[in-house]
């Protein structure tokens, strides 16, 4: 069940962890405007909270450090680098990744963690198709983004016999031991589809939870689909069949 609006920062929902330790990672790059808000929202839902920074040129790292949150630098090549660093740095049993721009509500973390904590899946992804999105509709770039994600998700469903609606969400929870059993190679946001495909190829179970995507406060995404679209197609086909 998703929130009708953003949760109140610091309001603690009961975490259905079944005694499992939850790390929450916030990958960030030049997110000084929102980093304090996302940290405040995530804190009640994390046993271990940390930021992986992609070499920000603003005050992102300083703000996070001032809030007593550990900050680690990734290799600086994109979201995939941040995810690999997060898997290496996380503690405990379950790792949650949530974007730093407040496009997802930290109050949805308990619902996202639940399928993994309850033993129903090793990987849970937030679904914007089921929870709604302020980012997938509007201009031509957003249309391309939606169409591309639908095609990729349909291919994953056909290949693995699953019924997913969203393969590209950056809001995820997964079993840390399972994540460490696969090798991730993508440096950019193609890491999201790579992770789902590799979890499925290993026989792990993937669940979806409805989560709403709010409009990013950034003017543009770090990734241009017109520029990187071919990489999405290449990695999709490569990891599904080879």
Higher-confidence residue: 6 or 99? 99
Q: State the average pLDDT over residues 101-125.
A: 97
Would you say residue 5 lies in a domain?
no
Would you say residue 59 lies in a domain?
yes
Query: Comparing C-alpha atoms, which of 67, 47, 75, 73 is closest to residue 176?
Result: 47
**pTM given for the model:** 0.90
Say yes or no to pLDDT of 2 above 50. no
pLDDT at 136: 64
Q: What is the pLDDT of residues 76-105, one digit of tens each?
A: 999 999 999 999 999 999 999 999 999 999
Burial 52-81 (b: 16+ CB within 10 A, else e): bbbebeeebbebbeeeebebeebeeebbbb
Q: State the average pLDDT over residues 56-68.
A: 98
Would you say residue 47 lies in a domain?
yes
Which band of pLDDT confidence, cut at 50, 70 and 90, is reported for residue 15? Answer: low
Is residue 114 within a helix (H) or strand (E), and if so which, with residue range?
helix 109-117
Q: Which domain holds residue 218?
A: 22-241
Would you say residue 1 lies in a domain?
no
pLDDT at 143: 75
Would you say residue 157 lies in a domain?
yes
Would you say residue 89 lies in a domain?
yes
Which band of pLDDT confidence, cut at 50, 70 and 90, is reported for residue 221? Answer: low
Please report, for the domain that includes residue 125, its CATH number. 3.90.550.10
Would you say residue 183 lies in a domain?
yes
pLDDT at 224: 59
Place of tokens 């990695």: 235
Say yes or no to pLDDT of 182 above 80. yes
Would you say residue 226 lies in a domain?
yes
Domain count, the chain: 1
Place of tokens 């056909």: 158
Query: Comparing C-alpha atoms, which of 118, 93, 92 is closest to residue 205?
Result: 118
Mean pLDDT lowest for which of 43-52, 154-163, 229-238?
229-238
Higher-confidence residue: 197 or 219? 197
Say yes or no to pLDDT of 14 above 80. no
């Amino acid at each position: 069940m998703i929130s009708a609006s953003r949760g109140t920062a610091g309001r603690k929902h009961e975490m259905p962890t079944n005694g499992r330790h939850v790390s929450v990672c916030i990958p960030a790059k030049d997110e000084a405007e929102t980093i304090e808000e996302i940290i405040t929202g995530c804190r009640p839902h994390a046993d271990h909270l940390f930021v992986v920074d992609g070499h920000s040129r603003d005050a992102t790292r300083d703000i996070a450090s001032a809030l007593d949150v550990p900050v680690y630098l990734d290799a600086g090549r994109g979201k995939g680098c941040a995810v690999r660093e997060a898997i290496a740095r996380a503690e405990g049993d379950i790792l949650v990744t949530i974007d730093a721009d407040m496009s997802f509500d930290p109050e949805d973390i308990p619902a996202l963690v639940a399928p993994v904590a309850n033993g129903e899946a090793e990987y849970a992804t937030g679904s914007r198709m089921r929870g709604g999105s302020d980012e997938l509709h509007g201009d031509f770039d957003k249309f391309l983004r939606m169409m591309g994600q639908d095609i990729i998700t349909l291919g994953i469903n056909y290949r693995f016999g699953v019924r997913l609606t969203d393969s590209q969400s950056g809001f995820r929870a997964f079993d840390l031991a399972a994540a460490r059993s696969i090798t991730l190679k993508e440096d950019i946001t193609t890491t999201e589809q790579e992770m789902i495909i590799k979890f499925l190829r290993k026989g792990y179970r993937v669940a979806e939870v409805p989560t709403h995507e709010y409009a990013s406060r950034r003017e543009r995404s770090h990734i241009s689909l017109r520029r990187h679209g071919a990489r999405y197609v290449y990695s999709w086909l490569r990891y599904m069949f080879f």
